[in-house]
Amino acid sequence: MKRKQILAALLTGCLLLAGCGTAADSAVTETPAEGASKEEVAADASTGTASAESSEETAQAESESYVVDGGSPWINSNIKENCLNFEKPSEKDDLNMAVNYDWVRNTEIPAGYTSTGTFVEVGQIIDDKALATLEDESIEGHDAELVRAFYNAFLDWDDRNAKGVSQIEPYVKDIESLSSIDDVTAFVTDVDRSFFTPALVGVGNTGDLTDSTRYVTNFDHTGLLLGDSAEYKEFSTVGKLKYDAYKKLFSSIMTRMGYTQDGADKYFEECMAYETALAEKVYTSLENNDPAIYEKILNYYAPEEMAELAPNFPVDEFIKSNGFDNAELFLVTEPEALAKVSELYTDENLENIKGYFMVQTVLGCTAYLDKETFEARLDAQRSIYGASGALSDEKYAYVYLNNALPESMEKAYMAKYDVTETKKTITKLCEDVASVYREMLEGEEWLSDETKEYAISKLDSLKINVIEPNEYEDYSGLDLNGLSYFEVQKALANYRWELDKKRTNGKVNKNIWEGISTLETNAYYDPTVNSINILLGILDGDFYSDDMTKEQLYAGIGSIIGHEISHAFDTNGAQFDKDGNYSSWWTDEDYAAFQERAQKLINYYDGITVYGDEKAIGSLVQTEAIADMAGIKAMLTLAAKEENFDYKLFFDSYANIWKDIQTYEANYTQLTQDPHPLSYLRVNVTAQQYDEFYEAFDVKEGDGMYLAPENRILIW
């Protein structure tokens, strides 16, 4: 259900940070693992060290060009070496480096991570408490039992090692045996046989964007190994690292099953041939990040129209075998890609299709097998994202668990830790920030009264969700006791599949936060609910504590709340009404005025050199950069009501929460693929827009942080 992931990724595109230096992702490839919604977002920020000789050379050769050689108007201080090579600047010249200089010089990226900073620090506090939850046998209830069963099965290396790679062998042999396109049809329409295989297409329910109260049945092509379809025209640095790492990982497992190196490589090249042909018709990451994407992907079809979309493929049989033949309405986000699947579905392409099945199946299962496979998988991640070392096994177990069973994990955690007071305080702060948005919107001179009025009604309808949802998905029927880790995966996927089938033609329960664990260090705006969701995992450390000053509170979690609310009113938010339905509510003139302002920001970012020839990509980061500015504007509006507010402390605290060092690979990946700007730019570009910053630090023309008033980007 690749498209389901894309929809989810689009909608969670307003997460504060995608991935945030996490040490382990849940999918080594973009292989759809039973429709888990956030995995794609996390996958691109996963990790690895380079233990492979060839990959290591590549990584280091590439790395050198990222260092020190320039950076304008500031040095990229998210790369540690840059801070070692320069004197400490003043806040007037480079706010981020000035505040975080000593921290950067004295900090190492922890083993198994691709970055560190406030997000990782706070994440580690939460992770330790979650691990204590998992070790605490006194916590009762079904959810606690589920998470313990998952956790213990993951850590049962004796059993996993005894089974080796044998549990995927029947699936591999089955794929090998396919000898005609009719065989492929029999394979893809038998769910048991193709259980771990992306079957060229996927079907499942997803919240309908046009009418967000209901589910629609989504039918689309399955995923690409390299994630971004643009990689198939020309490798980016990251794409090449992925290609090499996945090829090596795949052959290491195939040779353990008795295949030759050449045989494994042949499957891999055939997989690439299939994907390269398909990728021509698949939207690129850049296209998927464009606010105009919704218009292109919302294509609805009646059941009787489905077969025509891919005439060579057994569409109706496939839908029936998956249990969705009672669906009354289908959504196909990329009809042209589906037509391409059909075009490729011939005997002539049999070997390429088999290659696709083989590679995707084997790589998709690398997290579920023995230690040797798991280590090889970590090696692949390390060579892609440049980390070194590894987490403890217990921590990996928790990371995978929190991805697989987020709701049960958080319920077990809540049974151990009381969050009542924090919930009250943060809810009140959210209400205060929402109220200053009202003032901000009312004061905007460039918005027409009509748009302003609607914006305020949307603000009035905003749901403030703090720490935990009102309702959870029903996992009472799931039993994981006594299963091996591989069987746990199958039981989980089956249970989710059963839940999904029950949703067909049904209503969405918006009280559930689907697929999100509140233990993640993050926050997000959900346009289909018109809610901000502030997760427990961010309410600690430098973001939030009981004894913070007002300045620290506003710069910390306050600015984050402000950031999320702004997504209700940006180029994405403008396309969803107050009830969460895809429906534009801006007048054309207002939308054009907004675009004009956004263009100024795009141009500004496009002019920033990060290293070498690499520049920031304005169109990629526009929405998130605007949200950062709006967040600070909201907090400055709130600060203006305080007496003796210390603006120096406020801006220093703001720079502190974005302290961040990354591996070169992670930094480069974020620069080129992530809608969130690099942290040092989130600090410096945001701060230099506001008079309060100039006054606090006496910034004058000629200083590094100075931006002439006429060049400032004041969206809000």
Nearest to 709 by CA among 690, 692, 696, 695: 690
In the complex, the smallest distance separating the C-beta of residue 627 from Zn ion, rounded to whole angstroms, is 4
The radius of gyration of the chain's CA atoms, rounded to the nearest angstrom, is 25
14 binds Zn ion per the rule CB under 5 A: yes
Choices 429-437, 439-447, 621-629, 691-699; region in contact with Zn ion by CB under 5 A: 621-629
Residue among 414 and 620 whose Cβ is closer to Zn ion: 620
In the complex, the smallest distance separating the C-beta of residue 716 from Zn ion, rounded to whole angstroms, is 14
Residue among 14 and 339 whose Cβ is closer to Zn ion: 14
Choices 10-18, 342-350, 461-469, 589-597; region in contact with Zn ion by CB under 5 A: 10-18
Choices 344-352, 542-550, 601-609, 619-627; region in contact with Zn ion by CB under 5 A: 619-627
In the complex, the smallest distance separating the C-beta of residue 242 from Zn ion, rounded to whole angstroms, is 26
Query: Please, which contacts does 312-320 make with residues 24 or more away whose CB atoms are closer than 8 Å?
Result: 312/342, 312/343, 312/345, 312/346, 313/200, 313/201, 313/341, 313/342, 313/345, 314/185, 314/188, 314/189, 315/201, 315/219, 317/185, 317/189, 318/188, 318/189, 318/199, 318/201, 318/203, 319/203, 319/219, 320/189
Choices 7-15, 36-44, 340-348, 499-507; region in contact with Zn ion by CB under 5 A: 7-15
Residue nearest to Zn ion (CB): 14
Choices 12-20, 179-187, 312-320, 696-704; region in contact with Zn ion by CB under 5 A: 12-20
508 binds Zn ion per the rule CB under 5 A: no
- CA 36 to centroid of chain Cα atoms: 11
Residue among 556 and 704 whose Cβ is closer to Zn ion: 556
In the complex, the smallest distance separating the C-beta of residue 624 from Zn ion, rounded to whole angstroms, is 5
Q: Look up tokens 């299709």; give the residue.
A: 353
Choices 8-16, 37-45, 355-363, 546-554; region in contact with Zn ion by CB under 5 A: 8-16
Handedness of CA 677, 681, 684, 688 (dihedral sign): negative
Choices 6-14, 155-163, 307-315, 654-662; region in contact with Zn ion by CB under 5 A: 6-14
| Site track for Zn ion across 443-482, x = CB under 5 A | ----------------------------------------
In whole angstroms, how far apart are CA 79 and each of 114, 387, 545, 692?
A: 12, 13, 28, 28
Whether residue 180 contacts residue 350, with contact meaning beta carbons closer than 8 Å, is answered with: yes
Give the 3-state secondary structure of residue 66: coil
In the complex, the smallest distance separating the C-beta of residue 663 from Zn ion, rounded to whole angstroms, is 23
In the complex, the smallest distance separating the C-beta of residue 42 from Zn ion, rounded to whole angstroms, is 16
Burial classification of residue 102, based on how many CB atoms lie within 10 Å of its CB (0-12 exposed, 13-18 middle, 19 or more buried): exposed
Q: Of 256-275, which residues contact Zn ion (CB under 5 A)?
A: none
Which one among 24, 620, 627, 657 touches Zn ion, defined by CB under 5 A?
627
In the complex, the smallest distance separating the C-beta of residue 117 from Zn ion, rounded to whole angstroms, is 17
Which contiguous run of DSSP H or E holds residue 206? strand 201-207
Both tokens of 627, joined, read 């949200």
Q: Give the whole-angstrom CA distance, residue 117 versus residue 660.
A: 4
- Residue 301 has φ and ψ, to the nearest 5°, of -140, 145
Residue among 627 and 671 whose Cβ is closer to Zn ion: 627
In the complex, the smallest distance separating the C-beta of residue 115 from Zn ion, rounded to whole angstroms, is 18
Which contiguous run of DSSP H or E holds residue 624? helix 618-639
In the complex, the smallest distance separating the C-beta of residue 567 from Zn ion, rounded to whole angstroms, is 6
In the complex, the smallest distance separating the C-beta of residue 198 from Zn ion, rounded to whole angstroms, is 30
**CB contact set of 705 (below 8 Å; sequence gap of 6+):** 91, 92, 93, 94, 95, 684, 687, 688, 693, 697, 699
* Cross-strand partners of 507: 214
Handedness of CA 680, 382, 371, 160 (dihedral sign): positive
- Residue 524 has φ and ψ, to the nearest 5°, of -155, 160
**CB contact set of 443 (below 8 Å; sequence gap of 6+):** none
Residue among 538 and 699 whose Cβ is closer to Zn ion: 538
In the complex, the smallest distance separating the C-beta of residue 561 from Zn ion, rounded to whole angstroms, is 11
Residue among 14 and 414 whose Cβ is closer to Zn ion: 14
Q: Give the whole-angstrom CA distance, residue 388 versus residue 483.
A: 32
Residue among 551 and 624 whose Cβ is closer to Zn ion: 624
In the complex, the smallest distance separating the C-beta of residue 660 from Zn ion, rounded to whole angstroms, is 16
Residue among 349 and 670 whose Cβ is closer to Zn ion: 670
Residue among 526 and 624 whose Cβ is closer to Zn ion: 624
Both tokens of 188, joined, read 């893809």
Q: Give the whole-angstrom CA distance, residue 44 versus residue 6.
A: 13
In the complex, the smallest distance separating the C-beta of residue 523 from Zn ion, rounded to whole angstroms, is 8
Choices 173-181, 595-603, 604-612, 616-624; region in contact with Zn ion by CB under 5 A: 616-624
| Site track for Zn ion across 38-57, x = CB under 5 A | --------------------
Residue among 14 and 387 whose Cβ is closer to Zn ion: 14
Q: Give the whole-angstrom CA distance, residue 103 versus residue 656.
A: 9
In the complex, the smallest distance separating the C-beta of residue 81 from Zn ion, rounded to whole angstroms, is 29
Residue among 48 and 675 whose Cβ is closer to Zn ion: 675
Q: Give the whole-angstrom CA distance, residue 107 versus residue 104.
A: 5
Q: Give the whole-angstrom CA distance, residue 330 versus residue 310.
A: 14
120 binds Zn ion per the rule CB under 5 A: no
Residue among 412 and 621 whose Cβ is closer to Zn ion: 621
Number of residues near Zn ion (by CB under 5 A): 3
Q: Give the whole-angstrom CA distance, residue 204 versus residue 327.
A: 10
Residues in contact with Zn ion by the rule CB under 5 A: 14, 624, 627
